[in-house]
Structure 1
Amino acid sequence: MENIIAIMEKMPDPRQAWKVKHKLSDILIICLLAVTCNANSALEIYDFAIARKEWLQGFLPLENGIPSRLTFARVLQIIQPKAFAVLFSQIMAHVEVVSKGRVVAIDGKSLAGTYHNEGRKGLIYMVSAWCSENKISLAQVNTQAKSNEITAIPELLDLLDIKGAIVTMDAMGCQKELVNKIVKEKKADYLIGLKGNQGTMHREFLEYAQSVIQDPLEKNQYEIYRTIEKGHGRIEERRYYLFRNLDWFKEKKQWAGLSGLLMTESFRSDIKNDIEAQSEIRLYITSVQGSVEEIAQASRSHWGIENNLHWVLDVGFREDQWLTRLQMEAANLSQLRRLSANLLKLETESNMSIQRKRYRCSLDMEYMESVIFNPKVFS
């Protein structure tokens, strides 16, 4: 906790100094604790602070008592989300279990309750970096449109130390500038989906991959890896084809580090309902020099951000149920939820769901302290 407090004290305070009654770091710490204890709004954060005043005074000065509910709301509305993003990444940089050589998945999630008017105007997207090995968020930045994820990703990469990692992204991130930044500036590798947004490139790569696979004389031009998964009355077979000879591709040198094309074919059969097998083909470009099995596992790891982070935020924190037009407050609360989710995940003594852990924290002070003051987490 001392590390978190020390980092939060570095947060730039946007308030007018002569009006300040409460330290910004104290307010932010209370917000984090409250969100971990099941609070979902500024009003509920205030309710938590009033109920836990005596406990909070044990490690926070609170010289002027508990901030009012309006103070909590105003602070969350005026803090710059980008400053909060820097703060978040600095806190996670202190977590001991974040290892090198990992797969880092980058993907966006909308905050469904932030839109208003027609056409979902004002909808906020949070673009997150997810450590698939440890299942925790490393950093995130907000943007106001899905199309703006492209401009948000470089900002997110600037917050990360990902040297030696494999960065995975969907087709939105298939941009020459992003690839160049990952390889040359961040000293990392990439595995990025390839779809229609790179029309000619996608068509050429798909035609090449299919023609090589269909030619018996070209078997030495690719590696193959197969997996079969069974469960819930379904069988899914995946075939991963890795092509290394891309010298024929005229624009190869424009894509920094490009060393391979991965094509995946998936076949899903529903035995229980006797439904005809469905197939799907996906393409990825990569700079990774590893085996087809390693690259296949990295492509599968990417979906952990959907199944572990986005699902946890929707179910464990009910993120999409809170309606607001106050976009900065929504973005800052989203940052707090992700930081709280990390702390809850890093508590491994119990196997409770995140939702149950939050509820337990709200009732059991000793358990809450084991989450917030976890000595196994911070160096």
Structure 2
Amino acid sequence: MPSCLQQLGAPSGPIAPETVADLRTYLVEVPDPRALRGVRHSWTALLTAAAAAVLSGAASITAIGEWVADAPQRVLALLGFRPDPLTGLIRPPHSTTIRLVLAAADGDALDRAVGRFLQERQDPVSGRRAIAVDGKTLRGSRTKDRPATTLIAAMTHSGQVLAQRQVDRKSNEIPAFAPLLDGIDLTGTVITADALHTQHDHASYLHERGAHYLAVVKRNHPGLHDKVRRLPWHDIRLDHYERARAHHRDEIRRLKTTAFAHLDYPHARQALQVVRWRRDLATSKLTIERIYLVTSLPPGAATGSELAAWIRGHWRIENQLHHVRDLTFREDASKIRTRHLPRVMAGLRNLAIGVHRQDGHTNIAAALRRTSRDHQRPLTALGLT
């Protein structure tokens, strides 16, 4: 991996336990829809217990219930469960109770709480922060009468999900872009997204919020694509060059940038060309790909290495979030379909992935196994001790 990418994405090391924010102070903002009559367990305690269980690798409601049932009394007390006034013992909630609670939880409110917790928990970021926006369909959530749940997320290039929002089933990701980012401080950030979000309204919105963008230009904008493609790239100097060998292939990436004042895209200041040369080591097949982008960053605001790192770093949302949720948490194979459960479980998985990455873990599966060996470890990570 190029050194510029390692610098942008490397964790700063485990966060000191005494400085970790308390997750419960954020979960209290998630509204409790239950009637007061017959309530035995605290709403916040149930959500916190589910979060701790997922942080330990629980991939289903049954696994969450088993983790809570096995928790010692001191752990249940730290989670916020109340003891029986007669016996003084804490009876853990049944997995059915946990299922009903998570199915009734407001997914938007939970994701806002998780995003604020992760932002408060992380160390200050040096330099300009890059945020990737991308969507994912929860394939296992599809039913006979309802399409699969689609979520759009905003994730830092270092691996923390700052916001997540469900896409209306009768729409697509485009209308959800601005509402997703409304709760994030975007001042000075760089937003990366795929070509679907190369929209004039998105560019204007980001400019108003004080953010910059790197927008991929494809044939869905034929006029803009043709104008950028026809620039005299042969005469423009090279800004960045890198060569790497990974995934059984050699790869060369070349980046050129040029200032261009007459682009038909709001606040665009530069056009970029990325040329990727890939040679498969097994078949010797060579492929060449050219990608064009526009950015609102003025000339000199970022080096060629930084621009290349942000362009390549966008796909970390696939590798560090979607891929991890699919393989490690088996999200697409999950049969959780009841009410808000698919959305809520996705939010809890985002929380677990973000916490482990902030604590310096690059292998999330190994981090989950380590956390599962001690009921105290997820509580420490969530600031409950």
Smaller-chain TM-score bracket:
0.7 to 0.9
Distance 1:321 1:189 in 2: 37
Give 1:344's match in structure 2, choosing from 349, 352, 356: 356
1:213 to 233, 247, 254: 233
Does the CA contact (< 8 Å) of 1:360 and 1:368 recur in 2? no
CA contact (8 A) 1:77 1:326 kept: yes
1:263 alignment partner AA: Q
Alignment of 1:141 with 2:161, yes or no, is no
Shift of 1:32: 0.3
Change (3 A) 1:98 1:304: farther
Residue identity in the other structure for 1:83: A
- The equivalent of 2:155 in structure 1 is 130
Q: Match for 1:79 among 105, 115, 121?
A: 105
Contact 1:122 1:144 (C-alpha < 8 Å) held by counterparts: no
Q: Write the deviation string for residues 297-318 of structure 1: whole angstroms up to 9, x where unpaired.
A: 2111111111212222122222
Q: Is 2:39 the counterpart of 1:13? A: no
Q: Structure 2 regions of 5+ residues with no counterpart?
A: 1-19, 85-90
> Does the residue aligned with 2:154 lie in a helix, a strand or coil?
strand
Alignment match, 2:261: 246
Does the 8 Å CA contact 2:79/2:384 hold for their aligned counterparts? no
Judged with a 3 Å threshold, the aligned counterparts in structure 2 of structure 1 residues 332 and 244 are, in CA distance, closer, same or farther, namely same
In structure 2, the residue matched to 1:318 is 330
Deviations 1:35-90 (A, max 9, x none): 11222222222221111041323314422632232221111111121111211122
- Deviation for aligned residue 1:103: 0.9
- Give 1:286's aligned residue: 295
Conserved 8 A contact 2:152-2:165: yes
Return the alpha-carbon distance in structure 2 between the equivalents of residues 50 and 155 of structure 1: 38
Give the SS at the match of 2:222: helix
Report what 1:203 is aligned to. Answer: 226
1:115 counterpart = 2:142: yes
How far apart, CA to CA, are the structure 1 residues paired with 2:99 and 2:336? 12
- In structure 1, the partner of 2:308 is 296
SS in 1 for 2:78: coil
What amino acid maps onto 2:217 in structure 1?
L
Q: TM-score, normalised by structure 1?
A: 0.86
Counterpart contact for 2:217–2:292, Cα < 8 Å: yes
Work out whether 1:93 is the aligned partner of 2:119.
yes
Equivalent-residue separation in structure 2 for 1:175 and 1:69 (angstroms): 45
**Aligned residue for 1:162?**
186
Deviation, 1:146, is 9.6
Structure 1 residue 5 displacement after superposition: 1.0
1:261 corresponds to which residue?
271
CA distance in 2, matches of 1:319, 1:146: 23
Higher deviation after alignment, 155-164 or 362-371: 362-371
The yes-or-no answer on 1:47 pairing with 2:86 is: no
Cα 1:173–1:36 shift into 2, 3 Å? same
> Using the alignment, how far apart are the partners of 1:89 and 1:36 within structure 2?
15
Mapped contact 1:288–1:295 kept (Cα < 8 A): no
Aligned to 1:190: 213
* Contact preservation (8 Å) 1:123, 1:144: no
Distance 2:52 2:248 in 1: 42
In structure 1, the residue matched to 2:3 is none
Provide the C-alpha distance between the structure 1 equivalents of 2:237 and 2:21, rounded to a whole number of angstroms: 52
CA distance in 2, matches of 1:295, 1:236: 18
Q: 1:180 aligns with which of 204, 209, 213?
A: 204
Answer 1 or 2: higher relative contact order, Cα 8 Å, separation at least 6: 2
Higher helix share: 1
Determine what percentage of the aligned residue pairs are the same residue.
Answer: 24
Task: Flag the 1:68–1:111 CA change in 2: closer, same or farther, 3 A.
Answer: same
Q: CA deviation at 1:34?
A: 0.9
List gaps (5 residues or longer) in structure 1. Answer: none
2:95 aligned residue:
69
Q: How far, CA to CA, are the matches of 2:213 and 2:144 in structure 1?
A: 38
Aligned length: 355
* 1-structure distance, mates of 2:215, 2:48: 37
